């Protein structure tokens, strides 16, 4: 495992120009190491709450660097601290570690060896980038005017867990985190490009389940039954038609019913049906309004057709809102790595969700997109695709940007 025997000598000077040049040189040398780490994780993916081997690998790297490490946080979370040689604030770097429940359909030597589980959202790359940043910062420690807390989070893909449980376990305290940075793979950007956005970056993501109760009966006598297939179908149409019309056109809402289940026999009208889906919004007022309208739509539909319903609405992470000043600092740090012409301003927020936002409720933060595509169509698959893959040349760039942002923040705040 990587440790101080990598023969990385710290920069001779702690001035900004010397550190920036040193980070570029040493991050470039880390490319093969980070590729090996990422491929190891890619072949042995673990779903949210099950990251035993992943946490062990992360812990091994961090302990090999001589850092104090806490393990077993919120299940399998890992936190390490790089203590600077001079006093100053604490900045955090956060990476998520969990994989998805999806079959890896790539034809590459490092494809997942675990059935129905794959790193189709790039969390293996996020972990490798943050480990690379840890290696760089550990060797830069004597020059750091403050501390860098390295947060490796489990269960980002599990609503209500991940960040919430890490925060409850105290990862933002002792020492108190005063700023936080994170990244995500972006197959819409090429390697060497970085996407930034000030303000709202990603949506709040909520999950819902609707249980519909009617009355079962014979398919030949529908008048004796309350057909939950019909009720469910009407409810889906009504939700998609009414909810977007009930909120301002200036407030994007994405309501998706992703599952609908009812019945098992062709000649039986089922007495129960279930709907499940997600709601994505960009502010909390709209979020509350959507839930209220959903209740009204379901109530009206079920009353009309004689059925009853229960809506279970699970509130997920709030929107990711990037601090403008930190995003300015992050963009400048990224420009030192990839050049200002390759720092792309993201025009529209993503309607995807990310529990990085939970940390932002306790400290200002900025979350950026790391380009991972090249000319090969194999790197163009979207996130959560069964063939998702990256150009691994992005890994040392991600590590360098994270380390540069941490350095620049501490230098500015010192």
104 is a catalytic site residue? no
Give me the catalytic one of 26, 46, 98, 389.
Answer: 98
d(CA 179, CA 177): 6
Distance of CA 310 to the CA centre of its chain: 30
Give me the catalytic one of 96, 156, 157, 227.
Answer: 156
Q: ω before 175 within 30° of 0 (cis)?
A: yes
Classify 355 as helix, strand or coil: coil
CA-CA-CA-CA torsion sign (43, 47, 48, 53): negative
295 is a catalytic site residue? no
Distance of CA 190 to the CA centre of its chain: 19
C-beta of residue 298 within 8 angstroms of C-beta of residue 208:
no
C-beta of residue 397 within 8 angstroms of C-beta of residue 336:
no
> Any idea of the CA torsion for 411, 30, 385, 54, to the nearest 10 degrees?
-90
Which phi and psi (to 5°) does residue 152 adopt?
-110, 110
Measuring CA to CA, which residue among 31, 37, 137, 19 is closest to residue 81? 137
C-beta of residue 281 within 8 angstroms of C-beta of residue 248:
no
Q: Which residues contact 143 (CB under 8 A, 6 or more apart)?
A: 10, 11, 14, 19, 84, 85, 86
Catalytic residues: 98, 156
């Amino acid at each position: 495992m990587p440790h101080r025997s990598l023969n990385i000598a710290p920069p001779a000077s702690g001035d900004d120009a010397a550190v920036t040049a040193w980070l570029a040189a040493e991050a470039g040398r880390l490319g093969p190491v980070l590729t090996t780490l990422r491929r190891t994780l890619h072949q042995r993916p673990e779903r949210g709450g099950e990251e035993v081997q992943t946490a062990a690998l992360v812990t091994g790297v961090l302990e090999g660097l001589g850092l104090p490490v806490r393990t077993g946080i919120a299940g399998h979370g890992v936190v390490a601290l790089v203590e600077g040689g001079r006093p100053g604030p604490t900045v955090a770097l956060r990476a998520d570690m969990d994989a998805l429940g999806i079959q890896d359909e790539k034809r590459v030597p490092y494809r997942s060896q675990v059935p129905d589980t794959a790193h189709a959202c790039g969390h293996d790359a996020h972990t490798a980038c943050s480990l690379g940043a840890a290696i760089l910062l550990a060797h830069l420690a004597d020059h750091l005017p403050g501390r860098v807390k390295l947060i490796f989070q489990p269960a980002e893909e599990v609503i209500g867990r991940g960040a919430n449980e890490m925060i409850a376990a105290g990862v933002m305290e002792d020492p108190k985190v005063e700023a936080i940075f994170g990244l995500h793979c972006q197959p819409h950007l090429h390697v060497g490009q970085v996407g930034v956005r000030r303000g709202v970056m990603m949506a709040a993501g909520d999950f819902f389940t609707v249980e519909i109760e009617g009355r079962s009966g014979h398919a030949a006598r529908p008048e004796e039954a309350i057909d939950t297939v019909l009720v469910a179908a009407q409810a889906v149409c009504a939700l998609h038609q009414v909810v977007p019309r009930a909120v301002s056109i200036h407030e994007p809402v994405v309501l998706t019913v992703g599952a609908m289940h009812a019945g098992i026999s062709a000649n039986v009208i089922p007495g129960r049906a279930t709907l499940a889906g997600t709601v994505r919004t960009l502010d909390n007022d709209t979020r509350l309004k959507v839930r209220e309208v959903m209740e009204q739509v379901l109530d009206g539909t079920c009353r009309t057709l004689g059925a009853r319903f229960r809506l279970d609405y699970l509130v997920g992470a709030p929107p990711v809102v990037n601090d403008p000043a930190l995003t300015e600092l992050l963009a400048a740090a990224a420009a030192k790595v990839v050049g200002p012409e390759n720092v792309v301003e993201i025009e529209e927020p993503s309607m995807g969700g990310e529990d990085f936002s939970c940390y932002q409720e306790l400290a200002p933060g900025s979350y950026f997109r790391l380009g991972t595509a090249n000319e090969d169509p194999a790197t163009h698959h979207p996130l959560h695709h069964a063939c998702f893959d990256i150009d691994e040349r992005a890994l040392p760039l991600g590590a360098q940007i994270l380390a540069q942002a941490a350095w620049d923040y501490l230098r500015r705040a010192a």
